[in-house]
Amino acid sequence: MKDSIETGILQILEITVTEEMFAQFHGEVVHPVYSTASMVYHMECASRDLLLPYLETDEESAGASVSLTHSAPSPIGSKVVHEAKLVHLTPARATTEVVARNAEGIIGKGEVVQAIMPKHTMRNRLAHQKA
């Protein structure tokens, strides 16, 4: 990691809820609102975007864990802003707290942990696994 990274830095990701983001299972829409699965994805995106400028050329990050609470709905067309804040950093891990808000207020809160590793690490691990 580059020395310029510090805890407290922020990354914002704004999305507009589309039908593809609805809560659905096996192709059937259960609720026509922003799904928890989409929220997880966007929280991970915001957290990864936060780290990218600080990775060295030989480093990459990979999701290690996500935990969140999805507390309110967000309908189609609504804007959701995800704010990721770096709260803990070691040479091997970065932890962000992420808050998701729409016009009504907070709709979710979570924590994303990313592993930081040399670029060859994932390739080497996969080479030893069978499909």
pTM for the predicted model, two decimal places = 0.92
Residue 131: per-residue pLDDT = 65
Residue 127: per-residue pLDDT = 83
**Residue segments in the chain with a per-residue pLDDT below the cut of 50:** none
Residue 98: per-residue pLDDT = 98
The residues near 40 (Cβ < 8 Å, ≥ 6 apart) are: 66, 68, 110
What's the pLDDT tens digit per position in 14-47? 999 999 999 999 999 999 999 999 999 999 999 9
Q: What angle do CA 24, 29, 32 make, to 5 degrees?
A: 100
Residue 125: per-residue pLDDT = 80
Residue 122: per-residue pLDDT = 79
Residue 15: per-residue pLDDT = 98
> Residue 78 is encoded by which pair of tokens?
């609504």
Report in angstroms the alpha-carbon separations of 79 from 13, 34, 60, 83, 115: 10, 10, 30, 13, 29
CB atoms within 10 A of CB 23: 17
Residue 130: per-residue pLDDT = 73
